[in-house]
Amino acid sequence: MSKGFGLLLFIFITAVALILGAFLMRLLISEIPCVSAELHLAKSFYLAEAGIEKAKWELSKDLNWHTDARHFPEDDLPWLVRCARGHIEAFGDGYFKIIKEEGKNVIYALGISKKALAIIRVKYEIPFRQVEWKLL
């Protein structure tokens, strides 16, 4: 072996390690936006679920509870997101918006976290209540 072979081998191994490290670093950095988007999507979904639970609680107190007047057509997404007044509550870096139209048995809950939006639509029925009749 020549005297300079060990130095050349060290430089080659170091270069390969640096290239491999740079490739892995680039791969990890490119995944950050995807992971961040998934995180905000999950947050928005759970915020929407919290909105549904809040709406159920409001309806348990008052069956006539509503946030907006009737709107047509049904499931009008732009109206839900931009125009519906709804009930809004903030949590951390996100918030939920509940929309319950007057006289309809549908609740919409929108969860918003950064640029992620999740919408849950729940159609419900009011259980039949047995009425006691009294003879006068």
Tens of pLDDT, residues 25-36: 998 888 888 888
State the Cα–Cα distance between residues 85 and 65, nearest whole angstrom.
14
Let me know if residue 135 belongs to a domain: no
Let me know if residue 136 belongs to a domain: no
Residue 83 is part of which domain span? 5-123
What pLDDT shows up at residue 127? 72
Let me know if residue 134 belongs to a domain: no
* pLDDT per residue rounded down to tens, the chain (136 residues): 577 888 889 999 999 999 999 999 998 888 888 888 999 999 999 999 999 999 999 999 998 999 999 998 888 999 999 999 999 999 889 999 999 999 999 999 999 999 899 999 999 987 766 556 666 5
Let me know if residue 114 belongs to a domain: yes
Let me know if residue 97 belongs to a domain: yes
Let me know if residue 74 belongs to a domain: yes
Let me know if residue 115 belongs to a domain: yes
Let me know if residue 54 belongs to a domain: yes
* Number of domains the chain is built from: 1
